[in-house]
Amino acid sequence: MLDRESRWLWAGYGFRSELDSHPYLAKWLDIEVLSLRLIDERFYHLDTCFCPLSGGYLLYYPPAFDAYSNRLIEMRVPAAKRIAIGEADAVNFACNAVNIEQIVVLNTASDELKQRLAALAFTVVETPLTEFLKAGGAAKCLTLRVTESITVETHASAAIATRTIQMQGHLLDTGLINQALDLIVDRGGELSGIELPVGRTAPEYLSGRGQGDRAFPRCHGIFDDPVDRSGCCGAAPRDPGCRVRSCDPGGGGSR
């Protein structure tokens, strides 16, 4: 979704979209792409919980995003222009709205939300769309904006890094591979491929090597590279540019 001032493109991933697609969007549209990870399956597309408004304002439901994405939103949108809504409005798809200048067309909104928008000079137009909600969409899902322009100052950028990690040992019976992959996913990474040749080296043990390519959204100063922390689970880098820190599995920190 384009920022209404055409400064960048917000792009969601997590349920029906792949993080790996974001660099292609940046290249094809020649615009900066900001990746937001969706974590609530009720909000499977970005426009179900996120709506850029005129004047740089943003209508959104923070619990639909992970901590990294919320921090990224906070870095790009000033607090005075962030309009965070509650769950009751969110499940009625108040963010799945159509914004035309100072008019916001949506399914329904609470009195509190309408008052907040009115205080910012927005006029709310409610139109019953409950039948469309049954199919998982509301006002925005029934439209296709074709008038949004991109300013000439924008240029392609997607803050995503790809790293390859390799693990050896008793990956399955000890749960190490699950710990490593869960850690990476929890910190905003995404699996794009995995190779797991498994061989039996002892009657009661399985051993093997897991290899996976992961794409990581990056924003300077927010998080360390998630691959670094996978060292806690015994991972080793295959990519020369990839760092892995050795950590105390018991929670004693890195060393």
State the catalytic residue, choosing from 51, 141, 233, 247.
141
Euclidean distance between the first and final Cα of the chain, in Å? 42
Q: Which residues contact 47 (CB under 8 A, 6 or more apart)?
A: 1, 95, 96, 140, 141
**Is the CB of residue 196 less than 8 Å from the CB of residue 144?**
no
Does the active-site annotation cover 49?
no
State the catalytic residue, choosing from 45, 95, 232, 233.
45
**Is the CB of residue 164 less than 8 Å from the CB of residue 216?**
no
Q: Which residues contact 147 (CB under 8 A, 6 or more apart)?
A: none
Does the active-site annotation cover 141?
yes
Residues serving a catalytic function are 45, 141
